[in-house]
Structure 1
Amino acid sequence: MLDHLSTLFEENGFSRMSFIQKLPYYDIELKKHSMKFTDILKFDCIYADQEIREVFVIASKLKSVFTQEEIKNCEQEIANFINFHPSNSLRFNITLILLCPLNFTKKMKKIPADILDVLGSEKDKYFCKKIFLDSTNPNAEEELSILPLVPINISVKDKANGYSGITLKLKEFMNDELFKELTKIEDEPDIEIIEKNLFIG
């Protein structure tokens, strides 16, 4: 799955990179303050666009789901990075991708409570946006389709049918309640309903 992720980023103009900065530190042996180059964002993989206006940070676990504590540690690492990095625009454009075995299957009637609890952390976007990816999904393309890099594919035929054709095509990607809320004309959409339905999927 990590290879598929890397390919997707590269195909969309993102490059793998590190954020190295010269920072002060105290040398205990020499008993004096010095400067050294430090990696200020330590993750498995980091991808950024050419202008470094958007950053995707990837954390992965092979055998288990992330714990709440591990997610908080990731958030703290990103918070520290935001404080050190001079670009203010980046603080609103960092996405943390959490790749781990969620073991979802089509036969599954109910998501286990512990996994549901961890997935709930996607709602907290204070330090960064968070997206969970299931590394056990055999269909990598399907799993990666939830990333904001992947466009919804609307054919020329749908476009030719005008607004109705496009909205009907979009309806295929969401449940009825979400579609109804997003296509309201007279009233403003209810954000809570939208968030609830996006989370459920």
Structure 2
Amino acid sequence: MKIELVSQFLKDHDYLEKKYLRTLAISNQEGEKEEVSRNILPFPKVFTDSNEKEIYIIEEKSTHFLEDEINKMENDILAFIQFLSNRDSIKFNINLLLLCPLNDSSNKEEITKLLSFERSKYTCRKIILNTAIENFEQELGILPSFPIKIAQNPSEEKVEELENKIKAIVDEGIYRELVNEADEVDIDEMRKYLVIEDDEQSE
């Protein structure tokens, strides 16, 4: 199981495993109110950085994930988000890591559809890691928030791989501006591709 390897990777980068428990008032069978402790982010593996500004949720399957399964996970994450205020930066930094094999040639259409979920940043960022590849550790290089390791004199193949990793993290327009050969980066141009969260927005 690769989930333990990914968990250790996060721990090595000072991420902590965490449960988000809340005390909720519910009605019992007799109609009486009672307080119960519930995990409002019900996933088996949840990690957060030491400042609690970013979350990584890990799920693993021996086959590829289905659309209904991803929708269910998104709904659980959306329910969690309802407990957060707009001042909680973690609300906008939730990563869902889906670990599964992507080498099933008999289900190419479904796998292509699965990979399309990575383009949707609604609710959370979805990152799919291929557990079928031989050097799975290299897959961890696409995770945001962690340094990308490259050789001092990378080959053209490695350069292209690095470019693809960067494009997976940042908007295409921002990437084009960053690699622009002009002496200065056009900040106004980059702002077109950014979603600016207003910290002063009322809850």
Q: TM-score range by the shorter chain?
A: 0.7 to 0.9
Find out whether 1:134 has 2:130 as its counterpart: yes
Q: What is the correspondence of 1:82-121 to structure 2 with a 5 Å cutoff?
A: 82-86=81-85, 88-103=88-103, 112-121=108-117
User: Aligned partners of 1:150 and 1:84: how far apart in 2?
Assistant: 27
Residue 66 of structure 1 aligns to a residue whose secondary structure is coil
User: Aligned partners of 1:143 and 1:46: how far apart in 2?
Assistant: 19
Contact 2:18 2:48 in 1 (8 A): yes
User: Aligned partners of 1:170 and 1:49: how far apart in 2?
Assistant: 29
Query: Where does residue 20 of structure 2 map in the other structure?
Result: 19
Q: What TM-score, normalized by structure 1, do the two folds share? A: 0.74
What is the CA RMSD across the aligned residues, in angstroms?
3.0
Output the amino acid matched with 1:35: E
* Equivalent pairs, count: 173
Q: What is the correspondence of 1:3-18 to structure 2 with a 5 Å cutoff?
A: 3-18=4-19
Output the amino acid matched with 2:67: Q
Contact 1:15 1:49 in 2 (8 A): yes
User: Aligned partners of 1:71 and 1:172: how far apart in 2?
Assistant: 27
Unaligned stretches of 5+ in structure 1?
Answer: 159-164, 192-201
User: Aligned partners of 2:161 and 2:136: how far apart in 1?
Assistant: 20
Residue 56 of structure 1 aligns to a residue whose secondary structure is strand
Contact 1:12 1:149 in 2 (8 A): no
Q: What is the correspondence of 1:43-192 to structure 2 with a 5 Å cutoff?
A: 43-62=43-62, 64-86=63-85, 88-103=88-103, 112-153=108-149, 173-174=162-163, 181=176, 182-185=178-181
Q: What TM-score, normalized by structure 2, do the two folds share? A: 0.74
Deviations 1:17-44 (A, max 9, x none): 111100111101x321211100101112
Aligned-residue identity in percent: 31
Unaligned stretches of 5+ in structure 2?
Answer: 194-203
